[in-house]
């Protein structure tokens, strides 16, 4: 029989363990050094692919190796996995009505991830903010609009440097790999980035702010928006997937 004077400490310990279980792996101090190292390797490969500095055959082989290794080490580290049901809308304060063309902007058009910055098609959705003056600020609040991670996972590529005149189409971008659903998500045209390669994220975590960076997004003809691409890597290689129906059902963050 448990003694009465032990009940209170046990109760406190139990509550503490429950609270710790709800925290992200980074907060818990899960050993993600291997994940971070592999993410750095993926970032390097992604940049070489982007800049057309690696052959497609070599790139495909290395891509598959890294995705599989990252997924394996992510789980080995005990990092949290979030089902698709927990995904959230990627712009704080907005919902599916901000998606351009009611989803008709998604055009596969022969897209090939391994074509890098020269790829064709638009297997993506542009999600527009209220910014008539093109300042990068929301017209109603006068503040930047936060970009939220739609999924959980690990940041595997990022570009923090972009200047007008650059031919880089994505501007300041992020790629996040979600081992739980074998998804790779691309967030482009950002202003400031709030995460770095190797960071673990949860659905709804702030990862960036909407911006106007990128070759075409910077031009006056382009309304301010987030460019969102979802790729499935379940087969080892990236295959474009239309997330429109998913976005209709994602959780909203005010």
pLDDT of residue 30: 53
For 151-181, the pLDDT digits (tens) are: 999 999 999 999 999 999 999 999 999 999 9
Q: List alpha helices for the chain, DSSP H.
A: 4-22, 25-28, 33-50, 56-76, 244-249
Sign of the dihedral through C-alpha 108, 168, 226, 116: positive
Q: What is the DSSP letter of 51?
A: T
d(CA 88, CA 243): 12
pLDDT of residue 31: 72
The residue extents of the domains of the chain are 84-249
The three-class DSSP label of residue 196 is coil
DSSP 123-169: -EEEEE-S-TT-SSB-TTTSSBPEEE-SS-EEEEEE-----TT---S
d(CA 230, CA 5): 55
Q: What is the DSSP letter of 180?
A: T
The pLDDT of residue 26 is above 80: no
Pick the CATH number of 84-249 from 2.60.40.420, 2.40.50.140, 1.10.10.10, 2.70.70.10: 2.70.70.10
pLDDT of residue 252: 86
Answer yes or no: are the C-beta atoms of 116 and 157 closer than 8 Å.
Answer: no
Task: Name the helix (H) or strand (E) containing 62.
Answer: helix 56-76
pLDDT of residue 229: 98
For 69-104, the pLDDT digits (tens) are: 999 999 999 999 999 999 999 999 999 999 999 999
d(CA 147, CA 176): 13
Percent of the chain with pLDDT over 70: 88
pLDDT-derived band of residue 254, with 50, 70 and 90 as boundaries?
Answer: confident
Instruction: Give the chain's mean pLDDT.
Output: 91
For 113-159, the pLDDT digits (tens) are: 999 999 999 999 999 999 999 999 999 999 999 999 999 999 999 99
Q: CA angle, corner 237, sides to 234 and 241, nearest 5?
A: 65
Its pTM stands at 0.88
pLDDT of residue 61: 98
């Amino acid at each position: 029989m448990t003694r009465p004077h032990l009940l209170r400490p046990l109760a406190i310990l139990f509550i503490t363990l429950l609270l710790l279980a709800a925290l992200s792996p980074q907060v818990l101090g899960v050993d993600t050094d291997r994940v971070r190292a592999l993410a750095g390797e993926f970032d390097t490969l992604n940049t070489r692919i982007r800049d057309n500095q690696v052959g497609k055959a070599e790139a495909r082989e290395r891509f598959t190796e890294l995705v599989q290794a990252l997924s394996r080490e992510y789980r080995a580290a005990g990092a949290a996995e979030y089902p698709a049901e927990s995904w959230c809308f990627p712009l704080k304060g907005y919902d599916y009505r901000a998606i351009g063309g009611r989803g008709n902007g998604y055009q596969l058009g022969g897209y090939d991830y391994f074509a890098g910055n020269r790829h064709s098609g638009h297997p993506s959705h542009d999600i527009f903010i209220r910014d008539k003056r093109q300042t990068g600020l929301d017209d109603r609040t006068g503040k930047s609009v936060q970009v939220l991670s739609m999924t959980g996972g690990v940041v595997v590529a990022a570009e923090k440097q972009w200047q007008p005149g650059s031919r880089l189409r994505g501007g300041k971008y992020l790629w996040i790999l979600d081992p739980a659903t074998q998804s790779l998500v691309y967030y482009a045209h950002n202003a400031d980035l709030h995460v770095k390669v190797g960071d673990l994220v949860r659905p709804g975590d702030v990862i960036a702010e909407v911006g106007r960076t990128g070759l075409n997004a910077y031009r006056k003809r382009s309304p301010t928006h987030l460019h969102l691409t979802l790729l499935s890597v379940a087969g080892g290689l990236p295959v474009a997937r239309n997330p429109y129906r998913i976005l209709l059902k994602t959780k909203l963050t005010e």
